[in-house]
Amino acid sequence: MKSLPYFCRGEVIRGFGRGSKELGIPTANFPDSVVDNLPADISTGIYYGWACVGNGDIYKMVMSIGWNPYYKNTKKSMETHVIHKFKEDFYGEILSVVMVGYIRPERTYDTLEDLIAAINKDIEEAKVKLELPDNLKLRNDNFFTSAPTLPTTTAVVSHTVINGH
Ligand code: ADP
Ligand code: RBF
Ligand code: MG
């Protein structure tokens, strides 16, 4: 995928409210404007990378892009699970991410427990892969230090601008 690493940011919106939080795996959803801006070579599936809320600390993340085949969604979503325990929700804030690598395609599972186990395995893989020197470097990219903190129309900067820096 020639577009990796891929930098993007956008407001955190409400998702399907399916209670991924109750599963212990909340995912911050991006609006359509961010999903529709994805380059064509970024296929659906599971990715790992770095994420930052507003201009807060930078944490490891895993992201799911697609139609969640287990739930048969009709709408393509882009959901980030930040690998950190937050004290509060951050709906309405700007989430900045860099997608660093691809883990696997999305698939369906026989049970919810199997889906959760797969996601937890993704999280473990992300933690290990992000420790590689080339991947650690992206954590320090000034993309994160220049993060806007308010949801404005300019917050959803097109990928050509961000990735052309
Ligand atoms: P929704 O369907 O609205 O996306 P979720 O159950 O997936 O609901 O919860 C997502 C929300 O939880 C995020 O928008 C964010 O405000 C909050 N949240 C708290 N901790 C995290 C985290 N570690 N990663 C992602 N979102 C988190
Ligand atoms: N949904 C699926 O239907 N199939 C998957 O393989 C799948 N993998 C995921 C991997 C990660 C790391 C994350 C964060 C989510 C994944 N999801 C997958 C999405 C999950 O179904 C979704 O977060 C919940 O339905 C809440 O919206
Ligand atoms: Mg969500």
Q: How far apart are CA 9 and CA 144, in angstroms?
A: 10
Q: Average pLDDT over the chain, rounded to whole?
A: 89
**Can you give the pLDDT at residue 155?**
45
Q: Report pLDDT digits (tens) over 41-62.
A: 999 999 999 999 999 999 999 9
The ligand placed nearest to the CA atom of residue 14 is 1
Q: What is the pTM of this model?
A: 0.91
Rounded to the nearest 5 percent, the helix, strand and coil shares of the chain are 25, 25, 45
Q: Is 113 a catalytic residue?
A: no
**What number of other Cβ atoms are within 10 A of residue 81's Cβ?**
21
**Can you give the pLDDT at residue 160?**
44
Of 60 and 20, more confident:
60
**Can you give the pLDDT at residue 152?**
53
Of 124 and 70, more confident:
124
Q: Report pLDDT digits (tens) over 82-106.
A: 999 999 999 999 999 999 999 999 9
**Can you give the pLDDT at residue 9?**
97
Q: How far is CA 114 from the centre of its chain?
A: 21
Tell me the average pLDDT across 129-158: 79
Ligand 1, atom nearest to 61 Cα? 24
**Can you give the pLDDT at residue 158?**
44
Pocket lining: 106 vs ligand 2, CB cutoff 6 Å: yes
Domains in the chain, please, with CATH? 6-147 (2.40.30.30)
**Can you give the pLDDT at residue 72?**
83
